[in-house]
Amino acid sequence: MTEAEWAVATNPGPLLAFARDGLSDRKLRLFACAVLRRMLRFTDLQHVGFAVAVSERFADGEAASEEMREAETAASMLWSEFHLPGPVSAKSSLGLVAGGARQITRRNAVKVVWEIENIADLGGVRGHLRSSLFRDIVGPLPFRPVTFSPAWLTSAAVGIATGIYDDRAFDRLPILADALQDAGCEDADILAHCRGDGPHARGCWVVDRVLGKE
């Protein structure tokens, strides 16, 4: 795969296959969580959102295995209640999302990603959106490193990035770009990504680099 192909791909499968070996489990899991979050419009059931939130915290080392098991148990009970065979309907869509919540609490991040990929199209998260989310999380790193100067990591930049990460406040990314530019950053990839239309997700490669996350 070339960088030009990477930039325009609308099927996340080849992107995952190409970049997977160089990605941390954290990045893979956060991508899966980002996809499943876009399926939560099907339901406001708290156990589903809880499973996604726990999985995100597990990716960051902030949730213990016991909490993951609790989230998985709750999601499995929901899946059993709502899952129906056959064509997708309003009720079976709940089963689809509950099944995704059950999968998102698995320990193996690679399996989590592929399980979520298996239901994403049915859940209305189309390939072009998933591909964009994956590029948001991975960035250009499979092709060329982007060096962050320590001088750019001012208290202002780090503070803005922390707020974006904790609050999923991706509308603040242009503010982060301004802070990085004020600190001397003129990297076109970094600034354009922050000022672009997105979509963005927890694990956005620019925010991660500012915060020192992998």
Model confidence at 102, in pLDDT bands (50, 70, 90)? confident
pLDDT score at 162: 98
| Cβ atoms within 10 Å of 191's Cβ, excluding its own | 18
- What is d(CA 16, CA 138) in angstroms, rounded to the nearest whole number? 10
Q: Which amino acid is at 84?
A: L
pLDDT score at 89: 47
- What is d(CA 32, CA 37) in angstroms, rounded to the nearest whole number? 9
Q: pLDDT > 90: what percent of the chain?
A: 57
The backbone region for 148, taken as left when phi is positive above 0, alpha when psi lies in -120 to 50, beta otherwise, is: beta
Residue 23 has pLDDT above 70, yes or no: yes
Contact yes or no for 139/102 (Cβ under 8 A): no
DSSP 172: G
Residue 3 makes CB contacts below 8 A (sequence gap 6+) with 140, 143, 144
Model confidence at 98, in pLDDT bands (50, 70, 90)? confident
Tokens 């148990």, residue located: 73
Instruction: Report the sign of the C-alpha dihedral through residues 189, 212, 17, 79, in that order.
Output: negative
Q: pLDDT > 70: what percent of the chain?
A: 91
pLDDT digits (tens, 9 = 90+) for 176-208: 999 999 999 999 999 999 999 989 999 999 999
Mean pLDDT, the chain, as a whole number? 88
pLDDT digits (tens, 9 = 90+) for 53-86: 999 999 999 998 889 888 888 888 777 776 555 5
Residue 90 has pLDDT above 70, yes or no: no
The token duo for 161 is: 């990035």
pTM value surpassing 0.85: yes
Residue 94 has pLDDT above 80, yes or no: no
Model confidence at 214, in pLDDT bands (50, 70, 90)? confident
Of 99, 212, 90, 87, the C-alpha closest to 161 is 212
Residue 140 has pLDDT above 50, yes or no: yes
DSSP string, 96-132: HHHHHHHHHT-S-HHHHHHHHHHHHTTTT--HHHHHH
